[in-house]
Amino acid sequence: MFKCFSALLAALLLAAPAHASVVIGGTRVIYPAQAPEVTVQLLNRDPQPALLQVWIDDGDAQADPNTLKVPFIVSPVMMRIEADKGQALRLMHTGEPLPHDRESLFWLNVLQVPPRADAAGNSLQMAIRTRIKLLYRPQGLAGHASEAPARVRWSTGRSDGEWFVQARNPEPYFVNLGAVRLLAGGRQLEAGAGHVPPFGQARFPINEAPGQDAAARVSYIALDDYGAGRPGEAQVALP
């Protein structure tokens, strides 16, 4: 059955977006290093049972769950949730060493396969995957995750003819951004969304030259540990 789920996953990567009836209790999972385990709640809001496979990956969305080696165990990995019922997932760190001076990013995957609608098998069946961040947070990190977005340093740049806004993160926490916009010369340039790794940088593409506006600023929506959006602005350093 696990191999069947893997085949369904491959098909899923080519499928059009669809609505999942099973929802995860949160938009991200924070795993404190000192915790023996973390519990994640699933809820089936559909009037029919749902069959699920659950796994954790380390960043490759297309990786075969059979070949993944991550320092976490999730239980159960396969389950059936009855209509309007819930299920608790248990996530446990295996104890394998991870960086102690910064957060580490993994991804929790929940693949849902709806039951066949009729005995003849004439209906189209579609597997639906939900994938959310799993952040492993070492104990004793300096500062606080909620303060990290305001400490990001912003600039603009160009590479291979493409302009971008660049974010440099001096903090040990991942900075998750739901929206980034460059405000320059009376214009508002959309730069998408993404995350900036600890002590690292990320580029957010814009579709035109930003110009030399000394008053240029970046506006953003930072997502906190609970997935709530918190607006912010920052000065942009000229190239």
Asked whether residue 1 carries a pLDDT value surpassing 70, the answer given is no
Instruction: Please tell me which of 102-111, 122-131, 211-220 the model is most confident about, judged by mean pLDDT.
Output: 102-111
* Contact partners, residue 173, CB within 8 Å, separation at least 6: 102, 103, 137, 141, 143, 145, 148, 198
Q: What is the pLDDT of residues 7-28, one digit of tens each?
A: 444 444 433 345 568 999 999 9
User: What mean pLDDT is predicted for residues 142-161?
Assistant: 95
Stronger pLDDT, 15 or 191, i.e. the higher one: 191
Q: Summarize pLDDT for 29-80 with one digit per residue, the tens.
A: 999 999 999 999 999 998 989 999 999 999 999 999 989 999 999 999 999 9
Residue 185's pLDDT band, with cuts at 50, 70 and 90, is: confident
Query: Which percentage of the chain shows pLDDT scores above 90?
Result: 76
Report residue 126's pLDDT band, with 50, 70 and 90 as the boundaries. confident
With a cut of 70, say whether residue 123 has pLDDT above it: no
Confidence (pLDDT) at 143? 95
Global pTM reads 0.86
Which is more confident, 155 or 237?
155
Q: Which residue spans within 1-127 are E strands per DSSP? A: 22-24, 28-32, 38-44, 50-57, 72-75, 78-81, 86-93, 104-113
pLDDT tier at 237, thresholds 50, 70, 90: confident
Do the two domains 2-137 and 145-237 of this chain adopt the same fold? yes
| Terminal-residue alpha carbon distance, the chain | 55
The domain spans of the chain are 2-137, 145-237
The CATH number for 145-237, chosen from 2.60.40.10, 3.30.420.40, 1.10.3720.10, 1.10.150.130, is 2.60.40.10
Q: Render pLDDT for 203-213 as a digit per residue (tens, 0 to 9).
A: 999 998 888 88
Q: Give tens-digit pLDDT for 69-111.
A: 999 999 999 999 999 999 999 999 999 999 999 999 999 999 9
Just give the CATH number of 2-137.
Answer: 2.60.40.10
Phi, psi dihedrals of residue 147, rounded to the nearest 5°: -90, -15
What's the rounded Cα separation, in Å, for the pair 173 and 35?
18
The token duo for 210 is 């930003």
Check whether 182 has a pLDDT greater than 90. yes
Torsion angles phi and psi, residue 113, rounded to 5: -115, 110
